[in-house]
Amino acid sequence: MKLGRSRLLLSCHVLLCLSVTWMLATADVPAGQRPGCLANCGDVDIPFPFGIGEKCALHNGFKLNCTTVEGVNKTLAGDAEVTKISMPDGKVWINARTMSWRCYNPATPSMDTEYNGGLDLTDTPFWVSEVDNKIIVIGCNTLAYMRSFPYVIGCSSTCNTTLMNDTCSGNGCCQADVPKNVRDYYGYFNEDYNTTQTWQSSPCSYLAVMENAAFNFRANYVNSTVFYDTYNGKVPLVLNWRAGPWTCDAAQKNMSSYACVSKQSVCINVNSTTDEPGYRCTCSDGYEGNPYINNGCQDIDECLKNATLCGSGICENTPGHYTCSCRRGKDLTNGICQSRFPVMPVVGTTVGLVILVIALACACMIQERRKLQKMKRDYFRQHGGLILFDEMRSKQGITFKIFTEEELQQATNRFSEQQVLGQGGYGTVYKGILQGDVEVAVKRCKIVDEQQKKEFGKEMLILSEVNHRNIVKLLGCCLEVEVPMLVYEFVPNGTLFQLIHGNHGMCISLATRLGIAHESADALAYLHSSASTPILHGDVKSSNILLDDNHKAKVSDFGASILAPIDKSQFITLVHGTCGYLDPEYMQTNLLTDKSDVYSFGVVLLELLTAKLPFNFDPDVPAHEKSLSMMFMYAMKENKLNQILDVEIKDGDNTEIIEEIAELAMRCLEMCGDNRPSMKEVAEKLDSLRKVMQHPWMQRNPEEMECLLGEPSSMASSTITSAEYFSIEKKVVNGLQSGR
């Protein structure tokens, strides 16, 4: 039960009490403050269009009251106290009873009390300032929010650590931004969070939309009623206001009700809501005062305000501006009055100097251009460009291209940040469009090893010969820069990392995941054993597996392996490494092998099965759950694999296939590299599992089963279950491993 739940409709307490629609101004709109109207009430100045008394305001929307409370004059709008009015800013500061609270009542333990404060400024010239206010929530285990159509905005606060004064970031206190154009709102508490379990240490929870500058969190707000007592339920709030509900163009057409009456005033359009216009008035540049009354905007005497405005010159005030001059015979230059020189000698000297400067500039430009061309030639030689040219001439039909720096700059809009596709340890990748509207990915490497520069061009040619449907094609390179740039084919559908971990609302089937895994493994197996020169990838991870429009995998970034070769038969990288994927054996020996790629691919398999990140940096997570591979090993050891699987693939029909993939991942993640399978074995295993997914093993032709399993079937019946297939297939794999 809730005791005392109410919604505070502030039509009786705040500016809404001005029930007469403010948009309909009185028939005889005053041109300024009339005689007898109060200019202030207590410490608050009352500038027109606001007013106290009959016909003292521009219209009823700006009508205020001056009331004596305990011997002190206070300015009120309803029962909300107005504490300040700003004409230039178009703002009003008020103290309003808008605080919401929810408290535990020890006298009735099964019930608590709740007060839902709010504000309704409909049909008034006011709305809540999104710049000056914040949504404040105070309490332990508290979730509260402000509702204002179409917004529902709030935050939750807990008390997990020691509360600290002046800190409102989720511990005992949290805050959220106020949305734009709020004219009404109400505060609410989530019952599932604001429970009575913490009442002894935190008896009350609070929500308030209030002025950000007036709030300073104190730890005792949580364990007492000090927050409520400090403001007595009335919190400071800043409101924006407008003179009328029309645009400036519309308001100026009806001069009888147009509020900007001062000759030196200008109209400013303001938006009080998303679908309702409005306008305010301000004084023109060089003028100050009240634009809502006749002759209210007065000229600013800039010379009087700033005696050094013209330096050593003479300052003369003009309407809306000022001028600087010197006495006769002198000119003002940079605020200093200087004597004049004869015109002709000065002109002749100036022309001569200009010609000399132009000539020197041209000579410097020519010299710099020659230096730049020489630098590009030197870089080209250093990176093995001449060797690359010789190799390209000796091999006919090669499609590899050497690009100029200017070509790639034009293709990537001078390497604009808007063209960035991604950043990694080796460089930044940009999307580019070559002549003929050919989309490419341009990679600017960060570093290149000095010992490798001469062989770089030759190595580029070797990588260009890599030709596999599941490997991103290397189209060319640019060698005339300090660090070479690589040009790849463009793959449009993002990365596997984005598919698995992105918030895209897609359901990824097991068949799709298995297809991506098989295609990626097949590509890595090709690099290891089928390329003209064996290539180790060195940085296998889900963000280096790109996807086309049909979710076909393309392994990318294998070119990173050329950046630090250790001999002439293999390209091996000094891996920067990606946390969660790095081979623990490599970390001990500093020797990268093909089995290092196998380990990293095993982590990718875990991502596909669990949809979890390879490493969790949360300090509160247990040690065995920080690394995905450690979490997986623990789950397999405790027979809890099902607890970490992605819910999208938890299907009883696929249990055997998932278990086979998990066992394959375990083999890939062996601590000793010699115990891991080769990428070719991994690809073949995934291929067989993929075929099982495509061909259900019910009433299956035995000859097809022989083809998939690789051994004849002597079974009398043509019907075979999925479990029977995996039992037979496991025996085949074990036989291959034992040499039978």
Catalytically active residues, by annotation: 539
The one-letter amino acid at 86: S
Closest C-alpha to 697, from 672, 728, 661, 735: 728
What b/e sequence results for 285-295 when a residue is b if at least 16 CB atoms lie within 10 Å of its CB, and e otherwise? ebbbbbbbbee
Return the beta strands (E) in 495-571 as ranges: 545-547, 553-555
d(CA 61, CA 637): 73
What secondary structure letter does DSSP report for 24?
Answer: S
d(CA 693, CA 268): 67
- Give the residue carrying structure tokens 């008394």: 53
The backbone torsions φ and ψ at residue 210, rounded to the nearest 5 degrees and listed phi first, read -150, 170
- Give the residue carrying structure tokens 């990392």: 497
Do the beta carbons of residue 725 and residue 697 sit within 8 Å?
Answer: yes
- Give the residue carrying structure tokens 């200017």: 406
Who's near 24: CB < 8 A, 6+ residues apart?
Answer: 59
Task: Write the DSSP assignment of 574-588 as a string of letters.
Answer: -----TTTS-HHHHH
d(CA 488, CA 504): 27
d(CA 132, CA 627): 44
Do the beta carbons of residue 712 and residue 706 sit within 8 Å?
Answer: yes
d(CA 308, CA 324): 11
What b/e sequence results for 533-564 when a residue is b if at least 16 CB atoms lie within 10 Å of its CB, and e otherwise? eebbbbbbbbbbbbbeeebebbbbbbbbbbbb
Neighbouring C-beta atoms of residue 310, cutoff 10 Å: 20
For 555, the 3-state DSSP assignment is strand
Tokens of 63: 């009508």
d(CA 562, CA 671): 26
Who's near 644: CB < 8 A, 6+ residues apart?
Answer: 609, 610, 612, 631, 632, 635
Q: Is the dihedral of CA 14, 19, 24, 30 positive or negative?
A: negative
Alpha-carbon torsion angle 481, 486, 487, 490, nearest 10: -140
Angle (nearest 5°) at CA 148 between 142 and 153: 35
Task: Write the DSSP assignment of 659-692 as a string of letters.
Answer: HHHHHHHHHHT-SSGGGSPPHHHHHHHHHHHHHH
Residues in the chain: 740
Do the beta carbons of residue 536 and residue 575 sit within 8 Å?
Answer: no
Do the beta carbons of residue 571 and residue 608 sit within 8 Å?
Answer: no
